[in-house]
Amino acid sequence: MDPRFLGIAEAAKYLDMSQRWMYRDSRRHGVPRYYFGGRLKFKVEDLERWAQQQKVS
């Protein structure tokens, strides 16, 4: 598992979402988020886990 953190732009690109969505809606949709020095960060393994939970049948 990759323990590194992504910034807003990287995380948005990783999930193919807008940066605006990452700021405004990721919390409401349960995406795990972290704050370091006032900056929003996302852990790669958390994004993977969250994305898998969004699977529709």
pLDDT in tens, 1-57: 556 899 999 999 999 999 999 999 999 999 999 999 999 999 999 999 999 999 888
- pTM value is 0.84
Find the domain containing 9 and state its range.
Answer: 5-53
Give residue 2's pLDDT: 55
Give residue 42's pLDDT: 96
The H or E element spanning position 42 is strand 39-43
Strands 5-6 and 39-43: antiparallel
Domain count, the chain: 1
Number of residues that make up the chain = 57
Give residue 57's pLDDT: 80
- 13's CB contacts (< 8 A; 6+ apart) are none
